[in-house]
Amino acid sequence: MFSMFTTTGIGSLPHIEPSEACKLILESVDIPFWPQLPKAGFRQSMIAQYSEDMPFLRLDVARERVWFEREDEGELSRFYEKFIMPIGSPISSEFANGFYEMENMVSQRRFSCFKGHVTGPLTFTLDIKESNGRFLYFDEELREVALMLLEAKARWQIERLRAFADNVVIFIDEPMLSALGSSVYLGVSQEETGRLLASMIERIKNAGAIVGIHCCGKADWELVFDSKPDIVNFDSYSYFNTIVLYHEKIRDFIEGGGWLSWGSVPTGQEIKNEDFSGVWKIFMDNLDSLGRYIDIKTVVQRSMLTPSCGTGGLTVEEAKKVFAILKQLKSALVDKFC
């Protein structure tokens, strides 16, 4: 599917100008992706960006707020009518100008693989509240509608990206997985979380894409592996100790054809003082740690590289530094293991 240490990115960049973001991506990674640009406007933040067509959803761009109000039930009927359309649910240029800029820039090119991304159903439904403070997740009907919507957003991307890519990868971004079990989210079922993820992964696979899950913190990694993605992306720079505990699941995942996607370059404040040598040391220490349980050669043959998360919260110069280190890391690892 991929070569050893294939590189890609998570999604967000700090740019305002989409062409500059796209240029950086095309110069930096093996699998290009379209840039999410949250600093360009609230509509391009990770929840609002996929909110179009969601019944009862309300956006206040000035106050940077998203919520839902169950009022006109006709909104639900109109959603079901639109959902059956084979093209999926489009993301308009107002909500994703990075997508359209990238599409224009590469329209005359052909890639073996191109990456899209969509917010996961758990993160989406636990970020949006009703006016009374209840999370959308706890409205059983709308939770299912949100799952349908997000799958349709992925399906739309797949159809558009196929125009210039032989293979399409879709990452499901689920940062909220790291908050499961906290007091704020009591009542969120692990069983239901697993069902949501597995269902979305299956639907996106059925649409013809390769599917990854991205979680940028700690998580119930058993639940993640059991949802049967093709790729598991994790923050190996800061949270490797939380995933290595699941080394048996990792072994089964790799032996079943899965890929580990190492979020190896920090995208938080650490990047200000970090350099290639520090990233290299942490990566090799982590690899040696996993090598106590799984043959290192087997691991590296099924390993990809990304930044630890999106770079949208950094400066443009810091984002460039992240991708420069990522390229150095790949080069050094290929020299060592190939």
246 assigned to some structural domain? yes
DSSP per position, 98-130: HHHHHHHHHTT--EEEEEEEEE-HHHHHTT-EE
Sheet holding 129-130, edge to edge: 57-60, 65-68, 129-130
Interval 168-227: pLDDT, tens: 999 999 999 988 877 778 789 999 999 999 999 999 999 999 999 999 888 999 999 999
62 assigned to some structural domain? yes
Q: Is 97 helix (H, G, I), strand (E, B) or coil?
A: helix
Name residue, tokens 């939380």. Answer: 242
pLDDT at 324: 98
218 assigned to some structural domain? yes
124 assigned to some structural domain? yes
Q: What's the total number of domains in the chain?
A: 1
Q: Please, which pLDDT band fits residue 86 given cuts at 50, 70 and 90?
A: low
Distance CA 253, CA 232 (A): 9
256 assigned to some structural domain? yes
> Can you read off the two tokens belonging to residue 262?
């190492």
1 assigned to some structural domain? no
Q: Is residue 101 a contact partner of residue 24, using CB atoms and an 8 Å limit?
A: no
User: Residues of the chain with pLDDT > 70: what percent?
Assistant: 99
270 assigned to some structural domain? yes
* Segment among 84-93, 157-166, 239-248, 296-305 with least mean pLDDT: 84-93
Mean confidence (pLDDT) of the chain = 95
- In this predicted structure, the answer to whether residue 81 has a pLDDT above a threshold of 90 is no
237 assigned to some structural domain? yes
Interval 279-314: pLDDT, tens: 999 999 999 999 999 999 999 999 999 999 999 999
Distance CA 90, CA 68 (A): 20
Q: Is 170 helix (H, G, I), strand (E, B) or coil?
A: strand
CATH code: domain of residue 272: 3.20.20.210
Query: What is the extent of the structural domain holding 52?
Result: 6-337
